[in-house]
Structure 1
């Protein structure tokens, strides 16, 4: 009797599954690398690495009148069996962009764990890096690698995001992440906001993005502004990025901050600086060589300038095996200025990574 009931339940579910629009997708990325940075005492260390693998489910339902429900659940994973970039990035369901929302002629409105506007403004970041590259030698220096830590190029928790439809090549994004907490007698903290205006037409593209963290020091807000532009057509890819930030944080958390002169005050500090990057690539046949160069300027902390800058460059060669499979080999390095090296407690000023990886999308 139980078998008959189970069979009937499965049979009843089949029509529903047939009408459901659900897609299983993912990107598996693994390879080898040799890194030389503070983690391994600047000794070249060979390893097998994951390069940002992920798996997800997504779908939609037609609601009629040009309106549909949209949803996605995406999770990071590590092909080499390690924990990945961080516990929030790998090994936890919905650790990457996950949402439910609606889409129509008005655009898209989504709720969930959503990519921020800076994460959508990385035109000079087209290389892949191994998890062990904790210095980010393969990536531009604007990517959350400032001395006050991460502040964007990721996802907003508790997010609400609106994306407008394209209008003459322009589109607008507005994003809010709720902090959902407030200490007694203090201003609410943890709220984040983002705004992005982008343009794309005939191979040319550009955007301005703003991301802010509210009340990070009293009533003062941390802010990141980024502009980018370039050209992507006729096998040529050329992009440039410029970013300026005002961030509030505790500089004393850096291991070697006490070695800087003049002495930085304890408590909440204000950091101001700029970063720029360029990326050039050209495809011929199945090959595409590319190079990225970026520079973080010497920053001001509480109005005093310190040599907290750094210079990064990386070069890589892609080989397209098929529409879904890509091979890449590359080399990158970062050289820190004097105060950045000491503030971060690094024994040497230069880190490097050489890698070879394979990516397969499904």
Structure 2
């Protein structure tokens, strides 16, 4: 009798996790690549990044999400997403450092979320321009060639509509919780889908964006999308993107215009754009894109802040979950620019900004890499 009771108790105990996680989905991917990378060209050999073989984790992640049906088309939703991007070098990542939120979703009125979440500008203007996303050869982000106004908002409120005949709209607000300054940030965007066509349009604004007064603006790498230490009162970004899929061919294009309103001196203006094509062949694909960052109007030697990037990549699906990929990319930075890789960035010197030591890519260095990797989705 005791043995039977013990067996029942143990069975119930081991069944508990399955019951507790019945409404929880686990998702993500593990990826790794090997590449050969370097960054040279600034004229100072001591600040070059010599060709190096690297093993990369390519933005790997794991997430947990779930929902509860509250009736009448309303659901409570939640998500916790974590980066695994440093598993290749025994590093650590912040728990819930990626999109992590709680909110309500209604079948008619849309979704309202609180927490850490990609801005409406980032989500809804993404119509497929990043053909080698999550690899060294990606091209989107605040310190890359294209979509420099995108961000993942913390302390944010986000609302997204349901689809109205292919049209989805959204708005995001990031609250400034530091009483010493007003750095509230918000964005509004929309995406329209009609068969193989996708269009994205967005606007992003941040108040009191970086107020560093360092004498050498080229010493600040990723602190400002404009790549300068001018005293900015407000940063504004406008973006238009499009993609069109016909049969096995995907065509992409995007244009972004940025303005920085300064407290002293001339306002800053800079644009960027990208074009590309992806051709699928059964389980494989070949991908090619080119992007350019324009001159920085409002500073001396505006052309010195230009940059460009070409990307050639390919993928092959071994199964529905497993993919191999390869890429080659090169970024050309003018003398005062230091656009870096999307992932697995290169740094070639350390600078001190307001007493903080920051690792940066030396201005004028041209990062380039060639590599191959494996991704398993789950």
Q: TM-score range by the shorter chain?
A: 0.7 to 0.9
Paired residue for 2:33, among 24, 31, 34?
Answer: 31
Q: CA deviation at 1:246?
A: 1.2
Residues 295 and 61 of structure 1: is their aligned pair in 2 closer, same or farther, counting only changes over 3 Å? Answer: same
Q: CA deviation at 1:117?
A: 2.6
Instruction: Say how many residue pairs are matched.
Output: 324
Q: After superposition, what is the alpha-carbon deviation per residue over 1:176-231, rounded to whole angstroms, capped at 9, x for unaligned?
A: 01011222xxxx42211010011001110001111111233799421111110121
Q: Is 1:211 aligned with 2:204? A: yes
2:370 corresponds in structure 1 to: 354
- 8 Å contact from structure 2 (residues 47, 362) kept in 1: no
Alignment of 1:141-290 (within 5 A): 143-145=141-143, 152-183=149-180, 188-216=181-209, 220-247=233-260, 270-290=267-287
Residues 93 and 115 of structure 1: is their aligned pair in 2 closer, same or farther, counting only changes over 3 Å? Answer: same
- 8 Å contact from structure 2 (residues 334, 364) kept in 1: no
Residues 8 and 316 of structure 1: is their aligned pair in 2 closer, same or farther, counting only changes over 3 Å? Answer: closer
- 8 Å contact from structure 1 (residues 20, 61) kept in 2: no
Runs ≥4 in structure 1, deviation > 6 angstroms? none
Q: CA deviation at 1:46?
A: 0.5
Task: Give the Cα–Cα distance (whole angstroms) in 1 for the partners of residues 93 and 232 of structure 2.
Answer: 36
2:117 corresponds in structure 1 to: 114
Residues 75 and 16 of structure 1: is their aligned pair in 2 closer, same or farther, counting only changes over 3 Å? Answer: closer
Greater CA deviation, 210-219 or 91-100? Answer: 210-219
RMSD, aligned α-carbons: 3.3
1:65 corresponds in structure 2 to: 72
Q: After superposition, what is the alpha-carbon deviation per residue over 1:101-156, rounded to whole angstroms, capped at 9, x for unaligned?
A: 111121111111001134323321120455xx5xxxx233x521269xx9643310
Task: Give the Cα–Cα distance (whole angstroms) in 1 for the partners of residues 369 and 237 of structure 2.
Answer: 28
2:304 is paired with a residue of what secondary structure? coil
Task: Give the Cα–Cα distance (whole angstroms) in 1 for the partners of residues 314 and 289 of structure 2.
Answer: 12
Q: CA deviation at 1:268?
A: 8.2
Paired residue for 1:340, among 334, 337, 341?
Answer: 337
Q: Gaps spanning 5+ residues in structure 1: where?
A: 84-89, 251-266
1:119 is paired with a residue of what secondary structure? helix
**TM-score, normalised to structure 2's length?**
0.76
Q: CA deviation at 1:91?
A: 1.4
- 8 Å contact from structure 1 (residues 42, 348) kept in 2: no
2:342 corresponds in structure 1 to: none
Q: After superposition, what is the alpha-carbon deviation per residue over 1:54-88, rounded to whole angstroms, capped at 9, x for unaligned?
A: 001001111111111111000001231254xxxxx
1:340 is paired with a residue of what secondary structure? coil
1:292 corresponds in structure 2 to: 289
Task: Give the Cα–Cα distance (whole angstroms) in 1 for the partners of residues 54 and 333 of structure 2.
Answer: 24
1:262 corresponds in structure 2 to: none
Q: CA deviation at 1:286?
A: 1.1
